[in-house]
Amino acid sequence: MSVITYRDLTTLDDFGAVVELERQIWGPGYDDVVPVPILAVTVQRGGILIAAFDEDRMIGFVYSLPGIKDGQPTQWSHMLGVLDEYRKGGAGYQLKVLQRDRALAMGLDLIEWTYDPMQAANAHLNFAKLGIVVEHYEENVYGESGSPLHQGNPTDRFIAEWWIRMPRVEQRLAGSAPMAPVLTVEPANRTRPQDEEEGRWLEPVDVNLTLDARRISVEIPTGFTEMLQYAPELALEWRMTTRRIFTTYFGRGYRVIEFFLDKPNRKGTYLLVNR
C-alpha cells in the first residue's frame, strides 16, 4: 500500500502540475482553471498551496488566497481537489488539516470556502470532520460552469466558516463525533423514492417554509453528481427546492451547525438552529 506524502508548492513546475491536475479532476471542457501566474503571485503574497503525492505523482491539492473579512486577515480556500481513485483515502481531509496548520502559523482565526450544499460527502467532511458552520447561501455564485460535474445546474453554494481556533474544531479534528440528531427538530422537507420499484433517486416533498422552531432539519439525497448526469431535471428540482429552504431560513436568522449522513437510506440531514 502506497504512502501519501504532502508538501508545500513553490516552483513554476509545481504550479504547472497543479493546473494539469485541475483539468483532470474537474473534467474535459473545464476552462476555469487557476493559471500558473495567479498561483505564483498568490503563493508569494500569503497564499497556501499544498499538494498530496503518491510517490512522484501529484494526486490532490488545496489552494487558498489571503483575504480580508470585517477588517481581519483570513484565508479564502478556493480549491480542494483529489483524484477519484484517492478520494476515500483521507487525502482531502489531511490537506485541510495542513492548510489549518499553515493558517494558524500566520496568526489567523478563519478560513472560508464555498461548497455545494447538495454534495453529501463534502457536507460530511466539512461538518462532521472539520467542524464548520454555515450561515450564508450564494445563488449561482460562479455562473454557468463548463465542468461536466455541474451539467448546467446553477452553481449555488454554502459559504463555509471554519473558525480554526474554536474548541468545536479542535474536538472534531481529534475525532470527536458530531452531536446526535436532536429529537425536537421540525423537518423543513422530507424525501421519498422517485421510483417506488427501483428507488434509485429521492425526490423532495412536503416543503415547509413557515416553521418557527429553534431547530429544524433539511434533507438532501446522496449521489447528487450522478443525479446531475442521469436525472438532470430532478437535480434542478432539488437545487431550486433547497435554495428556497435555505435562503428563507437563513433570512430568519438560522444557521447550519451539523450534517448527519445516512448512507443506508441514501440521504443526509442538515441541522439548522436559530441564532
CA–CA separation, 161 and 37 (whole Å): 28
Position 197 scores a pLDDT of: 47
Cell numbers found for residue 177: 463525533
Strand ranges inside 122-263, DSSP E: 133-138, 157-163, 186-187, 190-193, 202-205, 215-221, 254-262
Position 199 scores a pLDDT of: 57
Cell numbers found for residue 56: 512522484
Ranges of H-type helices in 134-251: 167-173, 224-230, 232-251
The 10s digit of each residue's pLDDT in 234-274 is 999 999 999 999 999 999 999 999 999 999 999 999 999 99
What is the amino acid identity at position 267? Answer: K
Cell numbers found for residue 89: 483515502
Which of the pair, 134 or 88, is modelled with greater confidence? 134
Which residue from 133, 140, 178 is spatially nearest to 159, judged by alpha carbons? 133
Position 193 scores a pLDDT of: 79
Residue 265 neighbours by CB distance under 10 Å? 13
Angle between helices 12-26 and 36-44 (to 10 degrees): 120
The mean per-residue pLDDT over the stretch 89-118 comes to: 97
The 10s digit of each residue's pLDDT in 18-43 is 999 999 998 887 888 999 999 999 99
Place of cell 458530531: 178
pTM for the predicted model, two decimal places: 0.91
The 10s digit of each residue's pLDDT in 141-179 is 988 765 555 567 999 999 999 999 999 999 999 988 776
CA–CA separation, 150 and 77 (whole Å): 20
Q: Vertex 269, ends 267 and 199: CA angle to 5°? A: 20
* Domains contained in the chain, CATH given: 4-173 (3.40.630.30), 186-274 (no CATH)
Cell numbers found for residue 251: 433570512
CA–CA separation, 76 and 111 (whole Å): 6
Which residue from 86, 173, 83, 87 is spatially nearest to 126, judged by alpha carbons? 173
Cell numbers found for residue 14: 509545481
The 10s digit of each residue's pLDDT in 171-223 is 999 988 776 666 578 999 988 877 644 557 899 988 999 999 999 999 999 99
Number of Cα atoms under 13 Å in the Cβ half of residue 111:
31
Which residue from 27, 28, 64, 26 is spatially nearest to 47, judged by alpha carbons? 64
CA–CA separation, 205 and 94 (whole Å): 37
Residue % of the chain over a pLDDT of 70:
93
* Terminal-to-terminal C-alpha distance of the chain: 46
The mean per-residue pLDDT over the stretch 112-138 comes to: 96
Paired residues of 187 in beta bridges: 217
Element (H, E) at 105: helix 91-105
Mean pLDDT estimate for the chain: 92
Place of cell 452553481: 155
Cell numbers found for residue 147: 465542468
